A and B are shown apart, each in its own frame.
Chain A
């Protein structure tokens, strides 16, 4: 098992992440969906020990994450949207520092990925496009042989071509390199294309975590009439989340 999250809970004064559980196998792409503020980023931060949790356990690579944080972090790649750190520094400068922290850094592989993704390392971070920023972080993750990628809204704000390129890359990494990907998004069409499993969080509660086709089938009960065509992931989410306002 690459990642096993059990009964993950986190209490804030006005929000509660409640007993979220799911697991990811090798080479699996899991889509973590939910509307803005549902608890997706909280879940990812809790997994990475960036926030303290009220309850629950996280096992990564069959080891307790908290007790083996450095080992686990050495074997994962984390992409939280674009890069919003040290934007005025050059790509080469950031990499020269980052790589020192990874024992299994492969410089040759890094150069190959930079070339493949067409990233100019002499550019400053802020000069990279949003898609390039995500690709740079993936290049860094792959250069230290990450077995799991944790991505928070990696495709948000990208143009359709860049999104398509990234999704193709994710599928390639999962199928060919057997890299597992946990991918939070509210752009459900991205998941229709590349995810194997879907975990759905609503208001901090886990609604479902299952294989994509089963997930879609499970929620067909939301159809308003039997003649209505099968609901897509987006329609399932909208029907679950819809609320009305009295003005």
Chain B
């Protein structure tokens, strides 16, 4: 069932840009760039795909399949999570190659693509999923306003992540030295735990909202 739900979204409702944004992690190869944009583009790709689904009456198509409302929400949540995990995995591989084999100077613009960066990435995606998904399932057709609201919080989180690397006290957050990377591990763990819990909460809340919606 889960693989069918995912296949439905990746084949039918995924907007072509989603696949482009899946490999947008290549931006970490740019020597000086706000790498937080990787997550911003990820949110944008998910928004385009949700919009594409709405314009193609995905909710109606799903509603006549042997699925209940809970499954419809579950499918969408899993679609978001799967995309985000794939994008983070691809970005991790590119970051690993960059740090290990490409001799590039430190990113002066913002945070380096290190362990803390991916921890923050999980937190940013958790914020986006919770606000966007719980709000779109309040109506099933209002997508623009939920995106704007979620984006405000996502952008604030990205700015915070990029700024923190400039504060001397938190310089270890921006580092790629082994000792700095070791210190950053708790951020990744906390980010990933939050990602799991907030997504469970997102699914529950979005399901509750969608149950009240008349299609």
Q: Which A residues fall within an 8 A CB radius of B? A: 45, 48-52, 69-70, 73-74, 78, 80, 84-89, 93-94, 96-98, 100-102
Chain A residues within 8 Å of B64, by CB: 48, 73, 78, 80
Instruction: Say which one of B21-29, B65-73, B129-137, B201-209 lies at the interface with A.
Output: B65-73
Interface 1/0 per residue, B22-53 and A, CB below 8 Å? 00000000000000000000000000000000
Known: A45-B215, A74-B66. 15 other contacts (CB 8 A): A51-B214, A52-B212, A52-B214, A73-B64, A73-B65, A85-B60, A85-B61, A86-B12, A86-B56, A87-B56, A93-B11, A97-B7, A97-B8, A100-B7, A101-B65
B4 contacts which of A48, A50, A69, A100 (Cβ < 8 Å)? A100
Q: Is there an interface contact between A102 and B66, defined as CB atoms closer than 8 Å?
A: yes
- Given known pairs A84-B60, A86-B56, A100-B7, the reply for A70 and B66 (CB within 8 Å) is yes
A-B CB contact pairs (8 Å), 30 listed: A45-B214, A48-B64, A49-B69, A50-B215, A52-B211, A52-B212, A52-B214, A70-B66, A74-B66, A80-B60, A80-B64, A84-B57, A85-B56, A85-B58, A86-B12, A86-B58, A87-B56, A88-B56, A93-B12, A94-B12, A97-B7, A97-B8, A97-B11, A98-B65, A100-B4, A100-B7, A101-B4, A101-B65, A101-B67, A102-B66
Q: Does B159 count as interface, using CB distance less than 8 angstroms?
A: no
Q: Is there an interface contact between B66 and A101, defined as CB atoms closer than 8 Å?
A: yes
Q: Is there an interface contact between B66 and A48, defined as CB atoms closer than 8 Å?
A: no
How many residues of chain B are within 8 Å of chain A by beta carbon? Answer: 21
Chain B residues within 8 Å of A52, by CB: 211-212, 214
Which residue of A is nearest B69, CB measured?
A49
Chain A residues within 8 Å of B58, by CB: 85-86
Q: Does B63 count as interface, using CB distance less than 8 angstroms?
A: yes
Q: Is there an interface contact between A70 and B67, defined as CB atoms closer than 8 Å?
A: yes
In the complex, A98→B63 CA distance in Å? 12
Chain A residues within 8 Å of B12, by CB: 86, 89, 93-94, 97
In the complex, A93→B56 CA distance in Å? 14
Which residue of B is nearest A10, CB measured?
B214
Which residue of B is nearest A86, CB measured?
B56
Which of A74, A96, A98 has its CB near the most chain B CB atoms (within 10 A)? A98
In the complex, A87→B61 CA distance in Å? 11
| Least distance between A96 CB and chain B CB atoms (Å) | 8
Which residue of A is nearest B12, CB measured?
A86
| Least distance between A48 CB and chain B CB atoms (Å) | 7
| Least distance between A79 CB and chain B CB atoms (Å) | 9
| Least distance between B212 CB and chain A CB atoms (Å) | 7
8 Å CB interface, B58-91 against A: 58, 60-61, 63-69
Chain B residues within 8 Å of A49, by CB: 68-69
Which residue of A is nearest B70, CB measured?
A69
- Given known pairs A70-B67, A85-B61, A100-B7, the reply for A50 and B214 (CB within 8 Å) is yes
Which residue of A is nearest B68, CB measured?
A69
In the complex, A177→B12 CA distance in Å? 33
Chain B residues within 8 Å of A102, by CB: 66
Chain A residues within 8 Å of B57, by CB: 84-86
In the complex, A74→B67 CA distance in Å? 9
Which residue of A is nearest B11, CB measured?
A97
Chain B residues within 8 Å of A70, by CB: 66-68
| Least distance between A56 CB and chain B CB atoms (Å) | 15
In the complex, A217→B7 CA distance in Å? 53
| Least distance between B215 CB and chain A CB atoms (Å) | 4
In the complex, A102→B65 CA distance in Å? 8
Chain A residues within 8 Å of B61, by CB: 85-86
Chain B residues within 8 Å of A89, by CB: 12
| Least distance between B3 CB and chain A CB atoms (Å) | 8
In the complex, A88→B52 CA distance in Å? 11
In the complex, A100→B4 CA distance in Å? 6
In the complex, A84→B65 CA distance in Å? 15
Which residue of B is nearest A77, CB measured?
B64
| Least distance between A50 CB and chain B CB atoms (Å) | 4
Which residue of B is nearest A141, CB measured?
B64
In the complex, A87→B56 CA distance in Å? 7
In the complex, A228→B94 CA distance in Å? 85
Q: Is there an interface contact between A50 and B66, defined as CB atoms closer than 8 Å?
A: no
Which of B56, B61, B64, B68 has its CB near the most chain A CB atoms (within 10 A)? B64
